[in-house]
Structure 1
Amino acid sequence: MMVEDLLARLVAFPSVVGTPNGAIVTFIADYCRSHGATVAVLPGPEGDRCNLFATIGPRDKAGYILSGHMDVVPAGEAEWSSDPFSLRAEGDRRYGRGTTDMKGFLACVLAALPKLATSDLSQPIHLAFSYDEEAGCRGVPHLIAALPHLCKTPVGAIIGEPSRMQAVRAHKGKAAVRLEVIGRSGHSSQPHLGLNAVHAMAGVIIQAVAYGELLAKGPFDRNFEPPYSSLQVGVIAGGQAVNIIPDRCTADIEVRAVSGTLPLTLLEPVKAHLEALQTKNFRTTWRELSAYPALSLAADSPLAHLLTELTGKEALAAVSYGTEAGLYQQAGIDAIICGPGDIGRAHRPEEYITVGELHACQQMIEALGARLSG
């Protein structure tokens, strides 16, 4: 199948993050097996979602991973001019949810598979496709944990997130948490008889925002924009009606950390402020939603040199968005980002990728196969 046909098939699966993904996994597994790949479907603990790992070439040698995620963000925006789960062609552009982030890369890998399968590979090429990356890289840790049973430790991993086909050596780490304050309900005319959870959470948020402003004072890594760690309160929910004292309030907070800083440690002052409410008879909970480490690959690493040769472009030092690459590096596998599309088109209506970008990515993957042949 041609890369555009494969992209159309992949986009047609509404594999939204946090939902069952059996249909897309079955399609990819069957396609890979039809071209001689050894395939492992790896169910996650959720019970209705799976990672997929496939190998072309000698399994007893150390090779390279081509890594991507099968899930996409929801597509409920009104600005879509057509069905987001049906690929639409306009000139060189191909519109649809996930075209850039990141079913375009998956389609390129699958389109290159027939050529890889007929190559005399001296080292294997592995396909590692994960679930729920858009929920904070929840699926790939289970895949990485299974790697010792699936292959020899890979030489490197190429994570195909959209980077305009320019390799990227570093990204920030991230952690997201949900705070909950539980107070006591009552009539708003008698506030002294209740415990207002919204008011209590507001105090925690004010302190969290002030702490976030302190993060902007460093430490700095000038490879990033912005060059410092950041904190954001993204979601707040609480209360039933204006005349009822709210007994519950939740807030979702994330931090993005420069290299050398553990994301979860940045949230410790916020946790302390939350737990201090317990002295005022509130109950509190703290739940980690997601966390992944930063990526930092040396400019003189063999993997960076390889991607420069394959793409013809020098690797970019860093980006501020996050990927699964840091988790591969944490597991002892050198990792780098390189994929088709532009991150600026992701997570928005009218997401698209160009045919030229797809072809450039497929050619890069086939060039990797040629390099490993003979």
Structure 2
Amino acid sequence: MQASDILAKLVGFDSVVGTPNAEIVAWIGAYLKSFGATVDILAGPEGDRSNLFATIGPRDIRGYVLSGHMDVVPANETGWASNPFVLRADGDRLYGRGTSDMKGFLAASLAAVPMLAASPLMRPIHLAFSYDEEAGCRGVPHLIARLPELCEAPLGVIVGEPSNMRAILAHKGKSAARLTLKGRSGHSSRPDLGLNAIHAAAEVLQAAVSAAHSLAQGPFETEFEPPYSSISVGTIYGGQALNIIPDLCTLEVEARAISGADPAALLLPVHEAAVALERRGFQVQWEELSSYPALSLPRTAHLAGLLAELTGIEPLAAVSYGTEAGLYQRAGLEAIICGPGDIARAHKPNEFILTHELDACQAMIEALGRRCLS
């Protein structure tokens, strides 16, 4: 099968983040087994979704991991010109949800499998496909924890997020949380008898804004745009009617950290402002939504040089969006980002990938396979 044919099959699975993924996992697993790959389906604690890990070549020798996620963001936006879960070709463009982010990489990897399987690999190529990456990299930690029993310590991990086939050495870390404040409702004519949760949330919001302004003063890491850590409140909602004291208010906040900062620690001023409200009678619930560390790979790293040779393009220093690569690095593995497509096309109507991008990615993976012949 050509990469575009495989992509059509993968896009046809509406593997939206946070939903069961047995169908796409089963199809990929069967495809890989048909070429003699060793395949492990690794059920997550949710019980209805799984990671997939497969090996082509010997598992008792150190090799390379091709890492990608099988889930996609929902496709509920207006503006789609066709069914987002049916691949549509228009010239060199292939439209559909997940084409760039990141089923294109999965398709190119799977299209390279026949060549890899027919080669006498001295070093293995592993495929590590995860679930719920779009919910804050929730699936891959369970896969990473299983790696010691699945293979020898990998020489490196290539995370195929869309990067225009240019390797990326670093990205920011992220921590996100949902804060729910519960006060006491009542008639708005007697605010003294209630606890206004929206008013209380304004104090937490101010703490977030102040922390964001402080972070913008540095420290700086010039490879990033912006070159500093940041805090942002993305949603806030609460209340029932104008004349009812709102007893509930919820806001969601995230921190994105340069490589020298702990993203969870950046949210501490916001958390402390929320906890202080308990002394005034509010109930406070703080729920972590996602957390992953920054990635920082030196230009002198083996994987950086390898990807420069495989792609013919010098690596890019950094991007501000996050990936699973930071989690692999935290586990002690060299990790780098390199994949087909463009992140600017992701998470929007009429997402697409170019056929020559798929071809370039497949060629890169097959070149990696030839490196593993000796």
TM-superposition CA deviations, 1:172-193 (whole Å, max 9, x none)? 0000011111101111121111
Amino acid at match of 1:282: F
Q: Distance in 1 between matches of 2:75 and 2:30?
A: 27
* Aligned residue pair count: 374
Secondary structure of 1:114's counterpart equals helix
Match of 2:142 in 1: 142
Structure 2: gaps spanning 5 or more residues: none
Amino acid at match of 1:185: S
Residue 205 of structure 1, CA deviation: 0.4
Amino acid at match of 2:66: L
Match of 2:49 in 1: 49
Secondary structure of 2:162's counterpart equals coil
Secondary structure of 1:71's counterpart equals coil
TM-superposition CA deviations, 1:96-126 (whole Å, max 9, x none)? 0000000000000000001000111111110
Amino acid at match of 2:130: S
Match of 1:126 in 2: 126
Match of 2:219 in 1: 219
Instruction: Map 1:5-154; keep pairs closer than 5 Å.
Output: 5-154=5-154
Q: Distance in 1 between matches of 2:361 and 2:323?
A: 18
Structure 1: gaps spanning 5 or more residues: none
Residue 264 of structure 1, CA deviation: 0.3
Residue 333 of structure 1, CA deviation: 0.5
TM-superposition CA deviations, 1:160-183 (whole Å, max 9, x none)? 000000000000000001111110
Residue 202 of structure 1, CA deviation: 1.2
Q: Distance in 1 between matches of 2:127 and 2:236?
A: 38
TM-superposition CA deviations, 1:1-35 (whole Å, max 9, x none)? 11110000000000000111111000000001011
Secondary structure of 1:138's counterpart equals coil
Residue 204 of structure 1, CA deviation: 0.8
Match of 1:173 in 2: 173
Amino acid at match of 1:46: E
Match of 1:253 in 2: 253
Q: Distance in 2 between matches of 1:242 and 1:23?
A: 47
Q: Distance in 2 between matches of 1:260 and 1:26?
A: 40
TM-superposition CA deviations, 1:30-74 (whole Å, max 9, x none)? 001011100000010111110000000011001100000000001
Secondary structure of 1:163's counterpart equals coil
Identical counterparts, % of pairs: 66
Residue 239 of structure 1, CA deviation: 1.3
Secondary structure of 1:187's counterpart equals coil
Q: Distance in 1 between matches of 2:19 and 2:27?
A: 17
Amino acid at match of 1:5: D
Secondary structure of 2:71's counterpart equals coil
Q: Distance in 2 between matches of 1:241 and 1:69?
A: 42
Match of 1:368 in 2: 368
Q: Distance in 1 between matches of 2:148 and 2:216?
A: 40
Secondary structure of 2:65's counterpart equals strand
Q: Distance in 2 between matches of 1:241 and 1:133?
A: 37
Q: Distance in 1 between matches of 2:242 and 2:11?
A: 43
Match of 1:243 in 2: 243
Q: Distance in 1 between matches of 2:220 and 2:327?
A: 22
Q: Distance in 2 between matches of 1:249 and 1:32?
A: 48
Q: Distance in 2 between matches of 1:145 and 1:69?
A: 16
Residue 214 of structure 1, CA deviation: 1.0
Residue 131 of structure 1, CA deviation: 0.3
Q: Distance in 1 between matches of 2:253 and 2:195?
A: 23
Amino acid at match of 2:142: H
Residue 291 of structure 1, CA deviation: 0.2
Secondary structure of 2:128's counterpart equals strand
Secondary structure of 2:33's counterpart equals helix
Q: Distance in 2 between matches of 1:197 and 1:336?
A: 44
Q: Distance in 1 between matches of 2:117 and 2:360?
A: 19
> TM-score by structure 1 length?
0.99
- Aligned Cα root-mean-square deviation (Å): 0.7
Q: Distance in 2 between matches of 1:93 and 1:15?
A: 22
Q: Distance in 2 between matches of 1:189 and 1:34?
A: 71
Q: Distance in 2 between matches of 1:166 and 1:37?
A: 28
- State which drifts further: 86-95 or 201-210: 201-210
Secondary structure of 2:222's counterpart equals coil
Secondary structure of 1:42's counterpart equals strand
Residue 308 of structure 1, CA deviation: 0.5
Q: Distance in 1 between matches of 2:347 and 2:318?
A: 20
Q: Distance in 2 between matches of 1:31 and 1:240?
A: 52
Amino acid at match of 1:203: E
Secondary structure of 2:9's counterpart equals helix
Q: Distance in 2 between matches of 1:243 and 1:50?
A: 48
Secondary structure of 2:58's counterpart equals coil
Instruction: Map 1:178-217; keep pairs closer than 5 Å.
Output: 178-217=178-217
Q: Distance in 2 between matches of 1:237 and 1:50?
A: 33
Q: Distance in 2 between matches of 1:205 and 1:110?
A: 46
> TM-score by structure 2 length?
0.99
Amino acid at match of 2:212: G
